[in-house]
Amino acid sequence: MAASPVLPKLVGQRVKRREDPRLIQGLGTYVDDIKIVGMQHVAFKRSDLAHARILSVETSEAAAMPGVEAVLTGAQIAEFVDPMPIGTPFPSPDHRAVATDIVRYVGEPVAVVVASDRYLARDAADTIVIDYEPLPAVVDPERAMTGQPTQVHADFENNLAVALVPGGTGVSADLQTVDDSAVDAAFAAADVVVSQRMHNQRLAPTAMEARGVVAHYERGKDTMTIWSSTQNPHILRTFIAGMNGMGQDQVRAIAPEVGGGFGAKINIYGEEYVVAGLSKKLGLPLKWAEDRSEAFLATTHGRDIIGYIDLAATRDGKVLGMKLRLVADIGAYNMLLTAAIPTLTMMMANATYDIPAIRATLTEVFTNKTPTDAYRGAGRPEATYFVERGMDILATELGMDPAELRRKNFIQPDQFPYATQMGAVYDSGDYEKALDLGLKNADWDAMKQERDAARAEGRLVGMGLAMYVEVCGLGPSSSLPTGGWEHSQVTIERDGRISATTGASPHGQGNETTFGQMLADQFGVPLEHITIHHGDTGVVKQGIGTFGSRSQAVGGTALHLAGGKVKEKMAKFAAALIEAHEDDLVFEDGRISVKGVPDSGKTFAEVAGYAYVPVPLPEGLTPGLSEEAFFEPANNTYPFGCHISLVEVDRDTGEPTLLRLVAVDDAGNLINPLIVEGQIHGGLAQGIGQAMIEEVAYSEDGQPLTASFMDYAIPRAADFPRFELDNTVTPTPVNPLGAKGVGEAGTLGSTPCIVSATVDALSEFGVKHIDMMLRPEKLWQIIHGGQS
Amino acid sequence: MIPSAFEYERATSVDDAIAKLAATGGTGKLIAGGHSLVPLMKLRLNEPTTLIDIARISALVGIRERDGLIEIGAGTVHHDVATSALLGAQCPVVSDTAATIGDPQVRNRGTIGGSLAHADPAADYPAMLLAVDAQIHLQGAGGPRVVAAEDFFQDLFTVDLGPDEIITAVRFAPVRAAAYAKLYQRASRFAIVGVAAALEVTDGAISAARVGLTGALSSAVRLSGVETALVGQPATAATVATAATGAGAALSDVSADLHASEAYRRAMVSVFTKRALEGALARLSA
Ligand SMILES: Cc1cc2nc3c(=O)[nH]c(=O)nc-3n(C[C@H](O)[C@H](O)[C@H](O)COP(=O)(O)OP(=O)(O)OC[C@H]3O[C@@H](n4cnc5c(N)ncnc54)[C@H](O)[C@@H]3O)c2cc1C
């Protein structure tokens, strides 16, 4: 009998991240670590008014400073830099990388300095004098919808960026006809209707590494290399080439280590256009590194959607219909995906429930704030929040246990694939299983007793539950203007080691580890023999990028397919070398041998050596072992889960404390549970942050009030209880791995379940809903009625 | 987040620091931990031409007993104050206060002298120094000078410190029955309201009380109304609850910002006065 293989299978194992040793030791290379001989530094002079007409920009003092290479106004930049790109089909106002006539938010660039060092560039920018005619600013989107007190863009009446798009039951595919009869009938038949306005507040993504760009145009070769802290170097390359009038073959985009993106680094930014355009114009390598103050103002924000929800139900808790009216405050401009993000809130309004009639509408509004775009979860946490808070309000109204209300309305396992009222087709799911595991892990009934015992002592303790379903594995090309596929190439090198590329450019997802695990199992080689290359269009032939929790489901599948192709070819070379039939071969312990006869085998180096010097060349084969694959899924994936929390509020101060967080997540098959837990932890941190302490605030006149970490709170590890995680496994049929995606999941369930727990804690004061974030003063006012 | 250009010098002694500071003619600044000054420089809210580094003057560092008092050198970092065995045994409120400042990085660099000189209206130390009735020792070209904590804190970022003077140390008589209670601002972790209370009790009655407040006004103050209400009363929970009740309402010019309105701050002054006093009482019996 043959000995069993020495190398263990790695898929499904808690393999430690291969990326971490270098990152923890400070050995990673980020954009700001890139230095090129002759490199000059760029600084942006930014608007300190929220809305104003630029009357003049005085740059002469800056231009005269020794070491200053160039000073340019918006008008001068517009001569060679295209307007900023929009990736959505909605009409969009002209958006310049550097403002030419009107500034529309604090932080918008007005002038650009190029100088020999970063400090000088900043000093020179400080000397630029801008004469403004201040205009009224608007920060409240519902006020902006009245057209008062100002028009952010002259051509967009009442500041409507996207005017009332209908969705749901009875809406024709072209959105032209809307039949409300089913929704009206549901509400007419209902025993109970609950209604609530909620705000899913504005957040700042605050990646640990702010943005940065280095661009190097080489005149002799007529090529451009651009390094940027981006989630999608291939998309960046496409736009930078187009903007500069260059071919995509002439531009190489590199995302070196990226210290967090959270969706905010999908966008193509004005700073990228300006630095690349100026490098070509001046023939100099240029660098811009965003500082933290700039990051709060000039990197896109997330969320900021108001939701009006009405739920119609029978007395025994069957939801008959839902109305959801969304008003999204998108800030001053449409960025790459801005207008599309709130459409994902519409798309996921059906949540985990079999709701027979839904009317949703969406209005997107311009205001004088930083533009919004994707932020971890991007539209789905908002949908989850509105619907789950609505379900809780309904449960309270009906006097029903929140878990039982959910159970009564779930889409059932035998209903999948399930076409929702909102036009999505959920791939697979078993929501009740996740709920049951959540209730069991939390020990829901014991939790209730604990809560009631605490209340008897006068403490304010509450519990909350939320279900979620999200859309991940962003795919088919019909839904993404960039294309909805991913690409990979797997190469057996001449020494038998494996190189693989992926277009899913990681920035914390750990693809070097998970993709390595997959190839290690596929080929039966040690993880150490595999290198995953990413984030460089010069090395990775094609790709889309990492967002929408797509890297494993889409990128991982492309890798798996490319690996399969090479393996097939390698088996043919091995068969010729061993003089066996390829169907009888096994790949184990770094060798390819006849099943049951390990001594018959050849090492990877031997087979690769033969494949690259194929004498004689087996019939029907070409030399070499390198294959590529594109993969486009037929549908998205729909992971889901159940989050439960226990919260205590300090009666004297209103300070909320999270006592427990129990999460059950179902991301389909897991490649690496350790990495999945890390992703959940990060998502929970940001979801808890949104519920409890994070909020971007502006004054009435559009001045940012939270433009540093002194005023914008982000959670720290010490603020959390020990997360109690678990998972169910419901594989997806849309890819051969059965993997759904997990990067954003933690932000969906945690936020509503914490707000619900807090509302429950304050139930003795008759409160129905509390808007985020849970500012202690707000809770204190509920407790004390504003009295001290 | 990019400061303007400056020169850097390292002082070797207190006298050397004073001389170097004077030589800049008012445009230079001392730097100790840099945890208040450097952020201001990065935001270009403060643009000194020369920094004189006093962080390595060993005479400024350390916690010791002297003439029945405890002395903390101005250059002592918050971490050392927070973990001092001497303070833990004799005057734990000082360590407790230091332990609430910022995060480990801040506590490993920031100094008590820097905190006092900077006088952020939400800084923690000032309330505590008022409660322990500390003396602040200064030195300038004209020689040394001592200022009572009560006279030192004057207004927003304003203290009784000459342009060429340096804080060398703080001294106080140790009090065991003292405690600090703080409502954290959740972003910066400075105090929205911080109250330090120290009690002296003879035969079960409060014979002396000092209560220091930070965060609520433009600078740290003593809550004399609360102190008066305590003295002569039995050292009980009921006494402190009564004394604390009106603490917030009695104040004028209470601050308001994004994190806390005036009404909330007033209410929190009462809550944290009560908590600090309860903490002091608990130490009495411990
Ligand atoms: C993230 C963060 C969080 C913080 N949280 C808190 C908090 O919760 N509570 C709190 O109280 N503080 C907090 N701080 C402030 C911190 O305590 C500072 O360290 C302290 O205020 C200044 O001490 P320093 O030694 O760093 O002074 P520096 O920044 O070096 O100097 C500050 C000022 O004092 C002057 N100075 C320094 N030493 C002397 C001296 N011996 N004599 C005369 N002048 C001197 C300097 O010239 C300068 O004007 C925080 C700071 C940061 C960065």
Q: pLDDT digit string (tens) for A215-247?
A: 999 999 999 999 999 999 999 999 999 999 999
pLDDT at residue A6 in the model? 78
Chain B residues near residue A119 by CB distance under 8 angstroms: 2-5
Residues B102 and B141 grouped into a single domain: yes
SS (H, E, C) A606-635: HHHHHHHCCCCCCCCCCCCCEEEEEECCCC
B168 and B121 in a single domain? The answer is: yes
Tell me, yes or no, whether B43 lies in a domain.
yes
DSSP, collapsed to helix, strand or coil, labels residue A186 as helix
Q: Is B146 part of a structural domain of the chain?
A: yes
CA of B189 to the centre of ligand 1 (A): 14
Q: Could you give the strand order of the β-sheet that contains A486-492, starting from the edge strand earlier in sequence?
A: A530-534, A498-502, A486-492, A626-631
Nearest CA to ligand 1 atom 10: B123
Rounded CA gap, A402 and A393, in Å? 9
Helix (H) or strand (E) holding A433: helix A431-442
Atom of ligand 1 nearest to the CA of B38: 29
Residues 6+ apart with CB under 8 A from B158: B119, B219
Tell me what percent of chain B is helix, strand and coil, each rounded to the nearest 5.
35, 30, 35
| Residue A423 in tokens | 């036009």
- Tell me, what CATH number does B105's domain have? 3.30.465.10
Same domain, A616 and A674: no
Mark which of A579, A611, A631 sits at the end of a domain.
A631
CATH label of the domain that carries residue B42: 3.30.43.10
For chain A, what percent of residues have pLDDT higher than 90? Answer: 96
Question: Does residue A787 have a pLDDT over 50?
Answer: no
Q: Does residue A216 form part of some domain?
A: yes
Residue B171: per-residue pLDDT: 98
Cα separation, B201 vs B208, in Å, equals 7
> How far is A461 from A645, CA to CA, in rounded Å?
11
Q: Answer yes or no: do A627 and A660 share one domain.
A: no
Q: Which positions in chain B have a beta carbon within 8 angstroms of at least one beta carbon in chain A?
A: 1-5, 43-44, 103, 183, 186-188, 248-249, 258-261, 263-264, 266-268, 270-271
pLDDT digits (tens, 9 = 90+) for A471-515: 999 989 998 888 999 999 999 999 999 999 999 999 999 999 999
Tell me whether residue B128 is exposed, middle or buried, using C-beta atoms within 10 angstroms of its C-beta: 0 to 12, 13 to 18, 19 or more. Answer: buried
Does residue A153 lie in a domain region? no
Tokens (6 digits) for B191: 């105090």
Q: Residue A579: what residue type?
A: E
Q: Which two tokens stand for residue B94?
A: 């000082």
Distance of CA A754 to the CA centre of its chain: 21
Let me know if residue A197 belongs to a domain: no
Q: Which residues in chain A touch residue B183, judged by CB atoms under 8 angstroms apart?
A: 653, 655, 776
Question: Could you tell me if A82 and A120 are in contact, meaning their C-beta atoms sit under 8 angstroms apart?
Answer: no
Tokens (6 digits) for A31:
């954009």
In a domain, B226, yes or no: yes
How do A52-58 and A302-313 pair as beta strands? Answer: unpaired
d(C-alpha A742, C-alpha A676), whole Å: 7
Q: What is the pLDDT of residue A8?
A: 85
Most A CBs within 10 A among B2, B38, B103, B190, hence the mutation to make, goes to B2
Instruction: Judge if A38 and A101 occupy the same domain.
Output: yes
A116 lies in the same domain as A89: yes
CB contact under 8 Å between B43 and A292, yes or no, is: no
Task: Give A509's contacts (C-beta < 8 A, 6+ positions apart).
Answer: A546, A551, A552, A675, A679, A743
Same domain, yes or no, for A430 and A492? Answer: no
* Residue A3: predicted pLDDT: 55
Taking CA atoms only, the protein residue closest to ligand 1 atom 51 is B35
Residues A682 and A620 in one domain: no
Return the sign of the alpha-carbon dihedral for residues A754, A757, A763, A765: negative
**Per-residue pLDDT tens digits for A283-317:** 999 999 999 999 999 999 999 999 999 999 999 99
Encode pLDDT of A706-762 as tens digits: 999 999 999 999 889 999 999 999 999 999 999 999 999 999 999 999 999 999 999
Return the percentage of chain A with pLDDT > 70, whole number: 99
Give the CA dihedral A134, A140, A142, A147, nearest 10 degrees.
0
In whole angstroms, give the CA distance from residue B164 to residue A355: 74
Note whether A287 and A271 are same-domain residues: yes
In a domain, B73, yes or no: yes
**Residues B66 and B168 reside in one and the same domain:** yes
Integer Cα distance of A405 and A420 in angstroms? 19
What is the C-alpha separation between A584 and A580, in angstroms, rounded?
Answer: 7
- CB-closest option in B5, B43, B261 to A777: B261
Q: What is the mean pLDDT of chain A?
A: 96
Give chain A's contact residues with B (Cβ, < 8 Å): 118-119, 122-123, 126, 291-293, 652-653, 655, 693, 697, 705-706, 709-714, 716, 775-777, 780-781, 784, 786, 788
Locate A785 and state its tokens. Answer: 């009625």
In a domain, B238, yes or no: yes
Distance of CA A156 to CAs A335, A362, A370, B263, Å? 16, 16, 18, 41
Give the 3-state secondary structure percentages of chain A, helix then strand then coil, rounded to 5: 30, 25, 40
Nearest to A526, CA basis, from A67, A19, A15: A15
Mutate to test the interface with B, among A211, A720, A777 (most CBs of B within 10 A): A777
Q: Are residues A759 and A744 in the same domain?
A: yes
Same domain for A528 and A383? no
Of all residues in chain B, the one with the smallest CA distance to A692 is B186
Residue A667, token pair as written in the block: 């991301």
Same domain, A692 and A728: yes
Question: Are A543 and A676 contained in the same domain?
Answer: no
Residue span of the structural domain in which A53 resides:
34-135+208-260+265-298
Residues A486 and A467 in one domain: no
**How many domains does chain A fold into?**
3
What is the atom index within ligand 1 of the atom nearest the CA of B167?
Answer: 42
Domain hosting residue B86, numbered range: 60-172
Q: CA angle at residue B63 from B57 to B65, to 5 degrees?
A: 125
Chain segment A662-702, per-residue pLDDT in tens: 999 999 999 999 999 999 999 999 999 999 999 999 999 99
Task: Give the pLDDT band (50/70/90) at residue A1.
Answer: very low
Whether A573 is covered by a domain: the verdict is: yes
pLDDT of residue A4: 67
Instruction: Read off the pLDDT of residues B17-27 as tens digits, 9 standing for 90 and up.
Output: 999 999 999 99
Q: Is the pLDDT confidence value at A151 over 80?
A: yes
User: A605, A631, A657 — which closes off a domain?
Assistant: A631
Nearest alpha carbon to residue A533 among A561, A506, A564, A493: A506
